[in-house]
Structure 1
Amino acid sequence: MDGKRIEGNEVYALAMCVSILLFAPIVVSQPIPADKSQVEAWFNGIIKPVKERGTTLDPELVQAETEPRIIKVMQGGGGEFDTITKAIKSVPSGNAKRVIISIGPGSYKEKIRIERNKPFITLLGDPKNMPNLTFDGTAKQYGTVDSATLITESNYFVGANLNIVNSAPRPDGKMVGAQAVALRVSGDRSAFYNCKIIGFQDTLCDDRGNHFFKDCHIRGTVDFIFGSGTSLYLKSGMQNTEIFVVGDPEGDPEMAIITAHACWCKRKQQAVSSLACVVSLEACSSEDTGYSFVHGRITGTAKDVFFGRAWKSSPRVVYSYTEMDEIVHPSGWSSNRQPERADTVYYGEYKCTGKGATPATREKFIKQLSDAEAKPFLVLDYVEGTKWLLPPPTVPK
């Protein structure tokens, strides 16, 4: 991600948006347990099958789940299609039923896009033999956000048991446009279960909408979770959930940054085909977006890792109950060398552990959250999850 350059054929307004830090009250009952061994039971107690939840779910979602269609993708025969792209093309525009695309093992070198007019699609791999979705697109070729191996623009998307990889070479700091996204999530109400999302710079474009990531491994170098989504990243039970920061060979601390949360806005209602930000500048100023990381671990081969930088003026990122390895920089966070942004960021930590959890050394603008301040970030309704989240899908027999 390069905030100094407008890329691609479209004109993007890299507008500096001021997010409202005081947000509307939300339901804070049944917060995520502090004991990570209890999280799976807590989740299963809330996110039950559709038949058991009735009117609490979005009506269109309930209707979509009544008669799901299953499409099998297998390399070498045995399925309806041999590529994921062909399977997606078979889904009609305006689709109103859940379509589960069951993907067999193997490596699928495809640039995959699920457009807005195809909601209710699930990409499902086998947890015992996860398929590899891989491509080597770069910002130089496609523009940053369109370089992604997997782009999901539709609502109610689910991805489970997938390796999502951008295999482009690691940026060397010299070549223009070397950023390479593995996954861009631009649709609302999208969930990912047990996925590995792997790249270097700009691995995950958490673009816009409410998103939920459960038991996922996310790997990168700099700004590798970026965008203006409202997202909850949750570790459950003993699953290997990690934010893995890959070390910089040159040892530059500025090259080890996890998040660059931002607000993207279009200018003068211009068409923006490759970003999901379709609101006006006025609407953007009132948005309430941010990333909440709960449980999980920050680890890797890097040194002096920053949790986030203020790439735009008003990012909002909170880590709760997170195990932090000693790779974390003592100050923890960066104002992006713009001191005035210390007054507009919302960066928080809550009951984190590990050698990298050192509140006394953090920047002065960091919030060590109280119980009351942390509660809104510790519920599924942070992403309106009780209205749309479903249990993780299972491989059809």
Structure 2
Amino acid sequence: MLLMASLSYSFLFFYSYFILTLFLLHAPLLVTSSTYRYKVVPSSLNRTASTNSTKHHHKWVGPVGYREITVDVNGAGEFLTVQAAVDAVPENNRENVMILISAGYYIEKVTVPASKPYITFQGEGRDVTIIEWHDRASDRGANGQQLRTYRTASVSVFANYFSARNISFKNTAPAPMPGMKGRQAAAFRISGDKAYFAGCGFYGAQDTLCDDAGRHYFKECYIEGSIDFIFGNGRSMYRDCELHSIATRFGSIAAQDRNSPDEKTGFAFLNCRVTGTGPLYVGRAMGQYSRIVYSHTYFDNVVAHGGWDDWDHASNKNKTVFFGVYKCWGPGAEAVRGVSWARELDYASAHKFLAKSFVNGRHWIAPSDA
């Protein structure tokens, strides 16, 4: 009987050890770099890769190694243009690639394709390192067709895990008057997932920043424009940013395009400052279920009466949108509360918009970066 008990305990010990070993071998890997701390995603790098994993047999992949590429418009780097540096990154990139961009004006149109994740644009300061172009929606592309808004961006990023620091992006097309057609001109388009921006500038007029799709985090950035100068269906947090209006007759800050109550997208503005000229709406219902929240944000005296716009007054969007403010202040703050369907939130309804967890940031943003 003692022999049988001893064998049973031995079997349980080795079985437990075997199960523990399997768990450790299959546990998700956390990768830390100078830019990110994140849970790496499955090998597929399309825009839905981070949500399409199965419960068993995960294949975890991530960046291995580090590479620097230098760009200097005056010839002191490896490349003269930013696009040439991006082109030097191989397809299906698996390295953390730091593209160091020296001070200067880079007059070019830049695209980071979906096949090149883990790229960082590192400038020398948003006032001295600038990428700019001048396309408008009515301009014609190489195929003879009008570009339309989304393809006007001076810089377009389709890759996941992109980041930019201390650099500015501009569209220098002239600012249009409200209602003019074909004058949309984006400075930057972000369509990849898990993108991080710190100390960056975005300069334009109508449709400056195309926050198109994916999870994004903007920290201490400056965003300037006149009409819908932040727009799209991203799931994004803007923290400690300045939103500066250059509107001459009428303008608007954000137009968010959420079209289903099941979508997790929306714009969360936290500890921001709204400055410049007005009057302007702080948010517009681009989508039927548009979602925009301002928390702890200062509004200068530039907000239009009512504060918000439902985009299409015949659509009843004011019954389905989620527009909110939480503990905002400044001479324009009262106007932000100007319509009944832009609610004053309490902590219970606002807390999800107050932390990087709104963009699942605990998995891919280092604590020091948030």
TM-score (structure 1 length as normaliser) = 0.74
Residue by residue, what CA displacement relative to the aligned partner does 1:173-223 show, whole Å, maximum 9, x if unpaired? 575311100010000000111011010000011000000000001011111
Partner of 1:146, secondary structure, is helix
Cα pair 1:150 1:164 within 8 Å, conserved = yes
1:223 alignment counterpart: 228
Letter in 2 for 1:99: V
Match of 1:365 among 318, 324, 341: 341
Whole-angstrom CA distance in 1 between matches of 2:70 and 2:281: 42
Counterparts in 2 of 1:341 and 1:179: CA distance versus 1, 3 Å: same
Match of 1:109 among 87, 107, 124: 107
Whole-angstrom CA distance in 2 between matches of 1:390 and 1:245: 31
Counterparts in 2 of 1:360 and 1:385: CA distance versus 1, 3 Å: closer
Match of 1:158 among 163, 168, 173: 163
1:317 alignment counterpart: 292
- Structure 2 gaps of 5+ residues are 1-29, 43-59, 140-146
Partner of 1:159, secondary structure, is strand
Match of 1:50 among 17, 32, 39: 32
Shift of 1:49: 9.2
Shift of 1:366: 1.1
1:131 alignment counterpart: 129
Cα pair 2:303 2:336 within 8 Å, conserved = no
Q: Which moved more, 1:363-372 or 1:169-178?
A: 169-178
Which is bigger in relative contact order (C-alpha 8 A, separation at least 6)? Answer: 1
Shift of 1:67: 2.0
Partner of 2:229, secondary structure, is strand
Letter in 1 for 2:235: T
Whole-angstrom CA distance in 1 between matches of 2:149 and 2:335: 34
Corresponding residue pairs, total: 315
Cα pair 2:161 2:192 within 8 Å, conserved = yes
Whole-angstrom CA distance in 2 between matches of 1:369 and 1:128: 34
Residue by residue, what CA displacement relative to the aligned partner does 1:19-62 show, whole Å, maximum 9, x if unpaired? xxxxxxxxxxxxxxxxxxxxxxxxxxxxx99279x9x8313599
Match of 1:257 among 252, 258, 269: 252
2:357 alignment counterpart: 381
Shift of 1:64: 4.5
Letter in 2 for 1:127: G
Letter in 1 for 2:244: F
1:348 equivalenced with 2:324 (yes/no):
yes
Letter in 2 for 1:50: T
Letter in 2 for 1:261: Q
Letter in 2 for 1:139: A
1:90 equivalenced with 2:88 (yes/no):
yes
Letter in 2 for 1:81: F
Shift of 1:392: 7.8
- Structure 1 gaps of 5+ residues are 1-47, 236-240, 265-283
1:299 alignment counterpart: 275
1:152-301 matches, cutoff 5 A: 152-172=157-177, 176-235=181-240, 241-248=241-248, 251=249, 255-263=250-258, 286-301=262-277
Partner of 1:176, secondary structure, is coil
1:271 alignment counterpart: none
Partner of 2:349, secondary structure, is helix
Whole-angstrom CA distance in 1 between matches of 2:365 and 2:151: 27
Partner of 1:168, secondary structure, is coil
Larger Rg: 2
Counterparts in 2 of 1:309 and 1:356: CA distance versus 1, 3 Å: same
Letter in 2 for 1:167: T
Letter in 2 for 1:333: W
TM-score (structure 2 length as normaliser) = 0.79
1:59 alignment counterpart: 40
Partner of 1:382, secondary structure, is helix
Cα pair 2:209 2:230 within 8 Å, conserved = yes
Shift of 1:63: 6.6
Whole-angstrom CA distance in 2 between matches of 1:383 and 1:178: 31
